[in-house]
Amino acid sequence: MSGEKKVRKVEKFEDLIVWQKARELARCIYRITDEGRLARDFSLKDQMRRAAVSILSNIAEGFERGSKAEFHHLLLIAKGSCAELRAQLYIALHAGYLGSDDFEKLQAMAEEVGRMLGGLRLAVNRKRNST
């Protein structure tokens, strides 16, 4: 049995590593948008928070819908929201609201979530097409 990879069954959306990472990203976005000049740019602050919340909300909703096709569709929406957040991070950087360290950390987190969403979407699509 050595060398076998133990696969943990995902029973609820909270078990998904990508959802956990998206949750941490949203937590960081909420923290950073409560600081400095970004906290006073209500429009950008709101858009960034909405995009971050959309990522984890669409993962959860898609998982709970029970249909691979709907899960796939909502993962696409989550991936789009992730790209939207990355674009907003550039705006915050260029407006002087974020320092380069915070920008790079958040950008790396968002890129990781985006890659994970892409991989999960492909896996769901393969399962969807094999049934």
> What are the structural domains of the chain?
15-130 (1.20.1440.60)
What's the whole-number average pLDDT of the chain?
Answer: 93
Stretch 53-64: mean pLDDT: 96
Mean pLDDT on 26-52: 97
**Structure confidence at residue 62 (pLDDT):** 96
* pLDDT at site 123: 92
String of DSSP letters for 23-69: HHHHHHHHHHTTSGGGGG-HHHHHHHHHHHHHHHHHHHHHHHH--HH
| Residue whose entry in the numeric block shows the structure tokens 């069954």 | 9
Give me 42's structure tokens.
């209500």
pLDDT surpassing 70 at residue 1: no
pLDDT of 12: 92
- Check: CB of residue 131 under 8 Å from CB of residue 68: yes
What CA–CA distance (Å, rounded) separates 15 from 41?
35
Q: Given this model, what pLDDT does residue 82 score? A: 98
The answer to whether 88 and 55 are in contact (CB under 8 A) is no
